[in-house]
Chain A
């Protein structure tokens, strides 16, 4: 276990170094979600929703979008490309365990995501009067659970993706779901019924709801928007945490079933 963690940290650092050398990935993974966030705030800013400005609403939803890019898209492409280039196999023939190898990439993705969230916090603080997160532990828990879910889903999706080029396409459905069927830009209550049904089960919804509530200190689980104390926030977050734990279980099963170390023969 201890060596797995040491290996994962080592491999995560290598991953970050490689990301720095890959401009395409830098733009897709790091820059794109920030640009999207900027566009959203520019177009939607000024309005009010559930007791907060639209700018604050969108910015506190942005970490959900970032999960899609920095974690999910990034890891699907990484795992697929490395499998096809036999990197995963070579690493597996070395000292690291499967948990160390996959955990290393997940840890690297977590670091990118945390970096982006920190940027968003600074950004929010500049835009809003009271722009710092209120309940940091709950915010972190929601984020960590979200990273775990999307890292596992990325491992699973990479298993059914034949090449790094196809990976760009394979991730689109999930990216679209995150953009449309999640409370990034609007509360669930404002969505058309069909989309709302989907939004209620996708894992990005509970992540955003937990993080937004923890950030602002108001109820964004049912969008009443009333001010909540720390204890109330934790209690209100329990169902969402439960949904994420179910997703982690589902993701683990899917990853175990679909993930592949070797390219397909023939």
Chain B
């Protein structure tokens, strides 16, 4: 993995429409055979980034390379090696599903690719082969779109929100398809706003907000940055607490407590700093236990929750606001 080449390189990319700068100097690298997820809210600049990498638009600034080629200038060379699933694909509604697949298979064969013969089965649409595309449901159209994107056996696959509008079962099936493709060595760049999707599929991910990448790295490193959460309840008001202990609540591993009073109860939450050591939460708890012992206070409903991608995501979005 370490020695493999970069399939996608983005360096200082800037892009926008008119006066609006949608992408403001982002950089990331996707290695061959890797699945990279671009996460972000709507309007974060994910699709704009994808459109540059897909070669539809020319970057305003910075450099992008896909398989070592300039996706806009060398689109003709790149086209056969790349599969694209747009956020919203248009179909010729009067063609049947089978005719649509046949047309795309033909076009792939024309450029010398060996197209898949079982693309419809792959996405579970064989039973709809004779149906006019117009009559498919939203989720079925997404699956057909995925079949078209992968049918020429691309080396790099761009998936822009591939599971939006799918029911949970179809989403799971689609994840399986994507994972199988990855297992065959396909490099995948996908955008999503489903955190679970990124967490489950991605090797690396980047969180974008307002045109900037705020956090990126392996799923584990990004999640580790969230820090663990320690929460409990004290059956006592803060005033009483201060009267009893003088100093109030302790700091844990440098993290300050956040206290919320509800009647005669104080809810306390700590967000521990990110740490590389797996026993970080354990170590941080020791002074808390000692403090509780000393003050003879019970820590009610004590819980330790591992930081999640959602915590990181919300922090990125929240901080920027």
Residues of chain A touching chain B, judged by Cβ–Cβ distance below 8 Å, are 3, 6-7, 10-11, 14, 17-18, 21-22, 82, 85-90, 92-97, 261, 265
Contact = CB atoms under 8 A, between A and B. Distances in A.
A6 B88 CA distance: 27
B299 interface: no
A18 B95 contact: yes
B82 to A, nearest CB: 9
A93 B91 contact: no
B90 A88 contact: yes
State the majority secondary structure of interface residues on A: helix
B106 A10 contact: yes
A3 B111 contact: yes
Interface in B73-123: 76, 79-80, 84-86, 88-95, 99, 103-104, 106-108, 110-111, 113
B7 interface: no
A21 B94 contact: yes
Contacts of B76: 97
A162 B160 CA distance: 25
Interface in B123-143: none
B74 to A, nearest CB: 12
B92 A18 contact: yes
Query: Most A CB atoms within 10 A — which of B76, B79, B85?
Result: B79
B279 to A, nearest CB: 48
* Interface size range of chain B in the complex: 20 to 34
Contacts of B113: 95
B107 A86 contact: no
Contacts of B54: 93
Given A18-B95, A94-B84, A95-B79, A89 B106 contact: no
6 contacts: A14-B95, A14-B99, A85-B93, A86-B86, A90-B91, A94-B148
B80 A95 contact: yes
B86 A14 contact: no
B111 A87 contact: no
A17 B132 CA distance: 13
B92 A10 contact: no
A193 B54 CA distance: 54
Contacts of B95: 14, 17-18
Given A90-B145, A95-B108, 14 more contacts: A3-B110, A14-B95, A17-B99, A21-B94, A82-B90, A85-B91, A85-B93, A86-B88, A86-B90, A89-B56, A89-B86, A93-B54, A93-B86, A261-B56
A14 B84 contact: no
Contacts of A11: 103
A15 to B, nearest CB: 9
A95 B111 contact: yes
